[in-house]
Structure 1
Amino acid sequence: MGKPTECEGDEKNGEKLQEEAVNDKLVPHHQHYADTPPEAEENDIEAAPSGDERETWGKKVDFLLSVIGFAVDLANVWRFPYLCYKNGGGAFLVPYVIMLITGGIPLFYMELALGQYHRKGAITCWGRICPLFKGVGYAVVLIAFYVDFFYNVIIAWALYFFFASFTTTLPWVTCNNYWNTPDCVDGMKSVVPNNSTNMTLYINGLSNMTMYDSVANINSSAVNVSSAVNNGTSAAQEFFERGMLELNKAGGIGEVGKIKWQLALCLLAVYVICYFSLWKGISTSGKVVWFTAIFPYVVLLILLVRGVTLKGASLGISYYLTPTFDKLTNAQVWVDAATQVFFSLGPGFGVLLAFSSYNKFHNNVYLDALATSSINCCTSFLAGFVIFSVLGYMAETSGKDIKEVAKDGPGLVFIVYPEAISTLPGSTFWAIIFFMMLLTLGLDSSFGGSEAIITAISDEFPIVRKKREIFVACLFSLYFFVGLASVTYGGAYVVNLLDRYAAGYSILIAVFFEAIAVSWFYGVDRFCKDIEDMLGFRPGIYWRVCWKFVAPVFLLFIIVFGLVFHEPLTYEKYVYPGWANMIGWLIAMSSVVCIPGVALIQIIRAPGTLLEKLRFVITPWRETQKHTVHAQTNDIRLNGGHPMDAV
């Protein structure tokens, strides 16, 4: 072969320069800089403003506490202990652990790894993983948006109880208050079964709670706290329903009545706390969680020590732990285990993606996932001892069977447990720290949901990032004014409606498509290579199998079972009208429809023929960028330009 001509040399040199430039743009940047992300800070196609570097956690422990605070919430206190008791005691740990290690932790690990590698919020991240599934990002953000409307109302309830506890005589102890009825029975006399109010929490018909564990649906299989004498109701129950909520003044979902200003002020206080915890980003929230994530453990340990010293505590704990292996043949036990694992860990809300996106690139997210998910589950187990030691005390004191007081749902933390601690010496102190614990459990979970929205929108629309304080103020103002419907006399009906439809099936469907997008479109091999780039090792066959096969089946199992056994929406004896259920389904579908809707838009906007469009939208963002640069280079060369002009 002869020596290349000058023209040929320029062309080859141009191709070489172009290839080097493309590689510099597309090869993971950590090969050049230790703690930079694998992709440039472009927002899909457009580059971020010059000098706009992504914030990182001040300390690794800030990240860990944020994740723990998000995952450990009210469900750990009022849901898991009851499920364990109801589904075979210690035997329930068998399906729980199986579902945890095959479905829960793999999904938890997957989201943390995706967020850390791509360093973007939910919308942009899913657009880069697979443009066809960018709608998943919009769906999870919209779900988090809906849930925030009512989840913070539950925190406002806890704040109301917290303020009400600053008195020598707790208001839910006696029956001589203006809200009480002639049927009111005070003290521990009320811990007797009857046919009065039942309370439980159903998250969208799946009988479970999430990181946004709503306290809404107060109906079937829940907390019976009333007197056998004249079918009376407990003073604690009347304080909750008539003193705080004032449900007796509402006529249903269509007649919610006036705003209760005390609850409205509590809700405003919650949003003020959230604003000043999040307005500056993780630099502020990362410090606040040092209190909100750690304080609940201090209180749990104090309550545990006090609980196990009470008369009858051993009885309650034995009911909690005694294994009944026959229960494992019941399919509902396995469904309860799966739903509890999923909603307790909380994948799919965009929170894990958001939090991990602020990590340093080489942070060991694998150990983080194992540690935080394990702490979450151990917390649930610990809470069982706290709850059942007190329930054993209640059963012993009232002379009733543990079955008559061992229930789940909001009634446990707003009726039964407050009533129990009101009988202890220093009841005011116990009430204050208990409701302070509920506040902190709820707040850091709320921080996570809000941060998921803020991060996702800021990354997708970079101009928002520059005006974060204003955007966060507008977001929480919108939450507050719309949320006023949930602090009316009939606000509990609104909360119940949102609880059922805002997040259950829709979030399960969204996470199902997440698993499909990563495993079958982005590719398990490519995902494992990304993890190797960050950590220096590839996930083993166990993780690959879980991500590709077990996790999708795990999610499909919960969805199908929940749909088959879907129950009509009720609140105690109140049956919601058809129009209310229709609104609920519209809320649920409005998030799910984002997945096919955005997919269609992505296909329409993609270049080329229909086949080329489909190929384009199922190709990861990095690959499409590389092809775009090559195409631009060829066009520039044909027009007499230099190949480097394409970069």
Structure 2
Amino acid sequence: MTQPQASETRVAKAQAWESHALVAQARGGLQPKTSAIEEAIVTTSEEKKNMSKEESEVFVPRPLWSSKVKYILALMSYLLMPSYLWSFVLQWLHRGGCSFLIVYTLMLFCIGIPLLFLEMAIGQKVQHGSMDLWKSLSPWFGGVGYSIFMVCFITNTYMNLYNSWILFYMSHIFYFTVPWEHCPLRRNSSGFDPECERATSYTYFWYRQTLKASDRIEDGGPLNFSLCMFLFLAWCLICVFMISGIKSFEKILYILVPLPYFITFCFLFRTLPMEGTEYGLKHLLILKVASIYDPTVWSQAGIQVVFDMGLGFGIIVCLASHMPVSNNCLGDAFLMALIKMLTLLFTTPIILSILGFWATITNHRCCEKNTETLTMLVAQGILPPEVQPPDLLDNPTSTYNSWLNSLLPPLRSAVLSKVPECNLQEQFLKIKEGPRFVFLTFTKVISLFPESGFWTVLFFFLLLSLGLCAAVSFILGIIIPLQDTFSFFRRHPRILIVSASMVMFLCSLFFMQPSGIYYFWLLTQYWVPLPIISIIICENLAVAWAYGAKRFLADMMALLSGPICPVCGWLWCYVSPVVLLGLLMAIFVNLSTRPLTYVAWDSNTSSEVVHRYPMWALMLIVGLYIFILIPIPAYFAYCLILGIPMRPTAFPKLSLGSGQPLTDKEVFKNILQGYKTKSLSP
């Protein structure tokens, strides 16, 4: 053959091979029925082997999960973020106990499961995770994908900070005496100082040794070099886990996901026999009926459900896009909700039992210290002999409180004027929100265990496995859209992984400055819920009203070859938008009526101080929120100016306007038309 003829033959073979691969992908990995058209265009195995390197790179097939089990493990690795597990326990204690669980369950069925199914279905249906995905559902909502990408990018800048802190703490477990076992202000004393126990031993090491935090957010300073090294190590681990995309991520799922459950079982059997655990477990039975009528409880439960289900970050869509289109995503949504609920109900008693042990031991030490102080004051003649405390033997708290309550009111007042009151309930309810309390309280408690070194190692491995899973999932939210948008990254995934990890590491250095922890709290506590709820509302409207809930469910029924409960469409159209708008309004009311505060360490007084964020911090939140959402109204205005309709006439590649899947002829017609358009374009 002449050279032009040979070139035309190679192009025809490449087009045929691409067409065949796309049809196989559209059929969800199922074997297509043999037809005359397919037999005419499918190349033989010998011809495939003879294709040159350039011809084989014309089309890169989308990788799918090796098995359904690995897909479920990937979803679990994303949904089991440690900060949200701790937040659920906090809400349980301060929002009514079992009443909060009832409200949480109702919100889970109203918005959690329906919206999780929505994101899973979109990912499977389109099998694309690019920023242009939402244009196929409705051109008017084409900017949603760009907002999702920016939110995921900003979250990635601080997500791996957890792992750097864990690695820093793990570097100290090999010391003969770990730094958090003793109060740093009493290095030459073996006694117990209640002031030190209450504040300094929990915060001094965190601020002054780990984070080198400044006294205020306005104060600057050099980067924490030691913590930067552990941050770099954390990003190196993420890069290794993701060096080959989801295929390399699959290999570690069998270790990272089951490991936290195994360690949690170990802690369950270890903590149940300890003193004070029954006091913590009593809080499982608390039921405050009045909390059910509290709008704050409903708003907090709704926000908790949104983050527990991992909605709005685009990661569910990315993970589901690597599953065949015929996968039962509705069943997966119910399965993941069930796993999440069982995990919360399993970990909550363990955390409460550990906190009960911590509160009991701390209260015992408070009573012992008060006894020493009162004995000294009586010996000095400052207090009368009638207030001489008894000897504390088996149960210091019970003995001390019984003696204190038996005193006459004047004597009792004189005692409390000299020593603090040791109250077990108040000590237990000192539980605070955020990773600072989780790290410091639990490391302090575990240091009181027999063979504490072994349990400390297990505890940090538990946190590290959960933290790495979450970090890998969030970096997938960056990598997969870039690969689906730019063909260069599909052909060179390792370059993308290394480059993305390096960029994220450089951006994370902003939080390594002395005031970086205050920016971290500003984003996690006040900013993140705003764009996430707004994005979920746009996703809901794009499917339920722009594309049409009935039409979307009809498409999914055609792909799944089975019926889908129409309740999902009713929830998408009426219940979920109303609930989400209510949550968004509650967040705005909370931000506008309450001051934005943060807890800092005052180096002059060696104590914790609550500061208000300056006005520019509030402006920073509002400005960043507007910047993230600008693509949505901008794309909306763009479509209105050009007269682009809100609802597409047909779903690309996978379904017609009536909800029926495209036939082989129609798929080939679209592919060939695409080649013609590509060849005619300049």
TM tier, smaller = 0.7 to 0.9
Aligned with 2:208 (options 216, 232, 242) = 242
Letter in 1 for 2:91: L
Aligned with 2:340 (options 371, 376, 380) = 376
Counterparts of 1:32 and 1:71, CA distance in 2: 25
1:32-431 matches, within 5 Å, as: 34=30, 50-175=58-183, 180-181=184-185, 227-228=194-195, 233-247=199-213, 250-399=214-363, 400-406=423-429, 407-409=431-433, 410-431=435-456
Normalized against structure 2, the TM-score is what?
A: 0.75
Counterparts of 1:602 and 1:75, CA distance in 2: 40
Normalized against structure 1, the TM-score is what?
A: 0.79
Aligned with 2:574 (options 516, 539, 549) = 549
**Residue 58 of structure 1: SS of its match in structure 2?**
coil
Please report how far the alpha carbon of residue 584 of structure 1 lies from its aligned counterpart in structure 2 after TM superposition: 2.9
Residue 535 of structure 2 is matched in structure 1 by: 510
Counterparts of 1:328 and 1:184, CA distance in 2: 51
Please report how far the alpha carbon of residue 357 of structure 1 lies from its aligned counterpart in structure 2 after TM superposition: 0.3
Matched, 1:485 2:485: no
Please report how far the alpha carbon of residue 474 of structure 1 lies from its aligned counterpart in structure 2 after TM superposition: 1.5
Counterparts of 1:593 and 1:394, CA distance in 2: 47
Please report how far the alpha carbon of residue 343 of structure 1 lies from its aligned counterpart in structure 2 after TM superposition: 0.9
Contact 2:137/2:647, CA 8 A, preserved across alignment: no
Residue 644 of structure 2 is matched in structure 1 by: 614
**Residue 548 of structure 1: SS of its match in structure 2?**
helix
CA spacing shift, 1:622–1:303, aligned 2, 3 Å: same
Deviations 1:443-502 (A, max 9, x none): 111111111111112112222222221122111111111211211222212212332465
Deviations 1:92-147 (A, max 9, x none): 21101100011111111110111011101051321211122121111011001001
CA spacing shift, 1:375–1:451, aligned 2, 3 Å: same
Contact 1:129/1:620, CA 8 A, preserved across alignment: no
Residue 575 of structure 1 is matched in structure 2 by: 612
CA spacing shift, 1:91–1:600, aligned 2, 3 Å: same
Contact 1:146/1:502, CA 8 A, preserved across alignment: no
Counterparts of 2:329 and 2:24, CA distance in 1: 17
Deviations 1:612-640 (A, max 9, x none): x232675555399999xxxxxxxxxxxxx
Residue 598 of structure 1 is matched in structure 2 by: 635
Counterparts of 2:31 and 2:460, CA distance in 1: 41
Counterparts of 2:286 and 2:611, CA distance in 1: 36
CA RMSD of aligned residues (A): 3.0
Residue 472 of structure 1 is matched in structure 2 by: 497
CA spacing shift, 1:645–1:311, aligned 2, 3 Å: closer
Contact 2:244/2:494, CA 8 A, preserved across alignment: yes
CA spacing shift, 1:454–1:646, aligned 2, 3 Å: closer
Please report how far the alpha carbon of residue 431 of structure 1 lies from its aligned counterpart in structure 2 after TM superposition: 1.4
Contact 2:318/2:477, CA 8 A, preserved across alignment: yes
Counterparts of 2:674 and 2:342, CA distance in 1: 58
Contact 2:150/2:628, CA 8 A, preserved across alignment: yes
Letter in 2 for 1:385: P
Letter in 2 for 1:485: F
Please report how far the alpha carbon of residue 546 of structure 1 lies from its aligned counterpart in structure 2 after TM superposition: 1.2
Please report how far the alpha carbon of residue 646 of structure 1 lies from its aligned counterpart in structure 2 after TM superposition: 7.7
Letter in 2 for 1:499: T
Counterparts of 1:522 and 1:232, CA distance in 2: 56
Letter in 2 for 1:404: Q
CA spacing shift, 1:317–1:268, aligned 2, 3 Å: same
**Residue 171 of structure 2: SS of its match in structure 1?**
helix
CA spacing shift, 1:311–1:444, aligned 2, 3 Å: same
Counterparts of 1:327 and 1:29, CA distance in 2: 50
**Residue 615 of structure 1: SS of its match in structure 2?**
coil
**Residue 652 of structure 2: SS of its match in structure 1?**
helix
**Residue 454 of structure 1: SS of its match in structure 2?**
helix
Deviations 1:292-314 (A, max 9, x none): 22111111111111121211111
CA spacing shift, 1:137–1:146, aligned 2, 3 Å: same
Unaligned runs of 5+ in 1: 1-22, 37-47, 191-226, 605-609, 628-641
Letter in 1 for 2:501: F
Letter in 2 for 1:569: L
Counterparts of 1:324 and 1:513, CA distance in 2: 35
Counterparts of 1:245 and 1:536, CA distance in 2: 55
Letter in 1 for 2:652: R
**Residue 181 of structure 2: SS of its match in structure 1?**
coil
CA spacing shift, 1:296–1:432, aligned 2, 3 Å: same
Residue 558 of structure 1 is matched in structure 2 by: 583
CA spacing shift, 1:484–1:328, aligned 2, 3 Å: same
Please report how far the alpha carbon of residue 183 of structure 1 lies from its aligned counterpart in structure 2 after TM superposition: 11
Counterparts of 1:456 and 1:348, CA distance in 2: 14
Pick the structure with greater CA Rg.
2
Please report how far the alpha carbon of residue 373 of structure 1 lies from its aligned counterpart in structure 2 after TM superposition: 1.9
Counterparts of 1:119 and 1:55, CA distance in 2: 10
Residue 455 of structure 1 is matched in structure 2 by: 480
The farther-off stretch of 324-333 and 552-561 is 324-333
Contact 2:546/2:647, CA 8 A, preserved across alignment: no
Counterparts of 1:32 and 1:263, CA distance in 2: 46
Deviations 1:160-198 (A, max 9, x none): 1122222232210113xxxx34699989x67xxxxxxxx
Counterparts of 1:56 and 1:26, CA distance in 2: 13
CA spacing shift, 1:645–1:93, aligned 2, 3 Å: closer
CA spacing shift, 1:626–1:174, aligned 2, 3 Å: closer
Please report how far the alpha carbon of residue 89 of structure 1 lies from its aligned counterpart in structure 2 after TM superposition: 1.5
**Residue 489 of structure 1: SS of its match in structure 2?**
coil
Contact 2:123/2:319, CA 8 A, preserved across alignment: yes
Identity over aligned pairs, percent: 26
Counterparts of 1:186 and 1:375, CA distance in 2: 46
Would you say how many aligned residue pairs link Structure 1 and Structure 2? 549
Letter in 1 for 2:212: E
CA spacing shift, 1:341–1:183, aligned 2, 3 Å: farther
